[in-house]
Amino acid sequence: MIYKVIQKARGGQPLNKAEVLSLLNAKEGEEAEALYSAAREIRKERYGNKIFPYGFVYFSTWCRNNCNFCYYRRDNDIDRYRKDRSEIIDIATKLCESGVVLLDLTMGEDATYHREDFRAVFDMIKEIKQITGLPLMISPGVVSNDTIDKFAELGVEWYALYQETHNRELFSRLRIHQDYDERMNAKLYAKSKGMLIEEGIMTGIGETLSDIADSMLFMNKLGAKQLRVMSFVPQKGIPMEHLGTPERSLEYKVIAILRLMNPEALIPASLDVDGIKGLKSRLDAGANVITSIIPPMSGLAGVAQNCMDIDDGHRTVEGVSVILKEMGLVPGTLAEYREVIGK
């Protein structure tokens, strides 16, 4: 069945749940390889050999939420930081000079901004836009419609907010005391205001393959320009510390299926799961964006891998370019990226 399903998707036909499940069940070896190879072909048809590198600026690791999977959950007793304006500008400038085509400005739901006001973030956005001229993504957690209006008005291109799962019951066990609809509606509102949105899921968080198939079908209809999957990475001190991390083949299959079902989508290979050594397999599965590029020695952290490969310079445009070259791929330029996003 699986080869037929791949062919059907290659012909541009929508897949049903049974077909998505058959792809998720692709056996290691020939079947999975056929899936990855179809995903690469589709990427090549649409994007040639271009892969887009994104800079990651996690500017505050304070958070009022208590997500069970996250190192930065409120109750975890860890070192935290909130970078000030000048440090953030400096980091953004360095990332821009290094050749990234987008800056992802990310924060925990830091009450300083969330409960008080976002003025400092708005000012920072204005300044970063002016200095770097790069497209921006904001990943602030759930914010009010007024705040989203302001992001849109400032010309922030992207709003990233991941549901993690589209199983409501599982969501409520992961993102405890958070509202499924509120999170979903915030991204739909951002989209209605003309922002591009990114949706994402995690694997290894207690979901079934049926849940993942439901997410694939949902994400296909959502109208998100960027779609991601990340394997859960256990963190010290969190309730899910001892859960273990899932087989990576599942993440790779999800990347490939996302590509088959959404040929035009931007799909990340995140350096935040397995660092630089995990890049090739994610690109081999059909990803066309590299996320979580962080300048070394900048004092900035990742999310799932808060320090892996950062200070030794592997999570840089230079670092990923070595792998791209070995694979016959090249970093896409800002002009090419703007054409893709139409902004």
63 or 196: CB nearest ligand SF4: 63
Q: CA–CA separation, 273 vs 222, rounded Å?
A: 25
CB 262 within 8 A of CB 228: no
Q: Using CB under 6 A, which of the segments 67-75, 148-156, 190-198, 242-250 binds ligand SF4?
A: 67-75
Phi, psi of 180 (to 5 degrees): -55, -50
Q: What is the dihedral of CA 251, 254, 260, 264, to 10 degrees?
A: -80
Binding to ligand MD0 (CB under 6 A) within 87-146 occurs at 104, 106, 139
Rule CB under 6 A: is residue 303 a binding residue for ligand MD0?
A: yes
Residue 104: which of ligand SF4, ligand MD0, ligand SAM, none does it interact with, CB under 5 to 8 A by kind?
A: ligand MD0
20, containing H or E segment: helix 17-24
Among 73, 253, 282, 314, binds ligand SF4 (CB under 6 A): 73
Size of the residue set binding ligand MD0 (CB under 6 A): 12
Rule CB under 6 A: is residue 56 a binding residue for ligand MD0?
A: yes
CB 13 within 8 A of CB 209: no
How many residues comprise the chain?
A: 343
CB of 312 to ligand SF4, least distance (A): 25
DSSP state of 198: E
Burial (CB count <10 Å: 0-12, 13-18, 19+), residue 164: buried
Binding to ligand SAM (CB under 6 A) within 282-321 occurs at 303-304
Among 99, 141, 204, 331, binds ligand SF4 (CB under 6 A): 141
Rule CB under 6 A: is residue 291 a binding residue for ligand MD0?
A: yes
Rg from Cα positions in the chain? 19
Residue 270: which of ligand SAM, ligand MD0, ligand SF4, none does it interact with, CB under 5 to 8 A by kind?
A: ligand MD0
Q: Which two tokens stand for residue 43?
A: 């990427």
Q: Which two tokens stand for residue 50?
A: 């271009």
Q: CA–CA separation, 206 vs 168, rounded Å?
A: 13
CB of 128 to ligand SAM, least distance (A): 17
Q: How far is CA 161 from CA 185, 224, 225, 228, 290, in A?
A: 10, 11, 12, 11, 17
Rule CB under 6 A: is residue 140 a binding residue for ligand SF4?
A: no
Residue 164: which of ligand MD0, ligand SAM, ligand SF4, none does it interact with, CB under 5 to 8 A by kind?
A: ligand SAM
Q: CA–CA separation, 200 vs 230, rounded Å?
A: 8
CB 20 within 8 A of CB 216: yes
CB of 109 to ligand MD0, least distance (A): 13
Residue 73: which of ligand SAM, ligand MD0, ligand SF4, none does it interact with, CB under 5 to 8 A by kind?
A: ligand SF4
Residue 161: which of ligand SF4, ligand MD0, ligand SAM, none does it interact with, CB under 5 to 8 A by kind?
A: ligand SAM
164 or 214: CB nearest ligand SAM: 164
DSSP state of 116: I
Residues that bind ligand MD0 (CB under 6 A): 56, 104, 106, 139, 160, 268, 270, 272, 291-292, 302-303
Residues that bind ligand SAM (CB under 6 A): 69-70, 106, 108-109, 139, 141, 161-162, 164, 200, 202, 230, 232-233, 235, 303-304
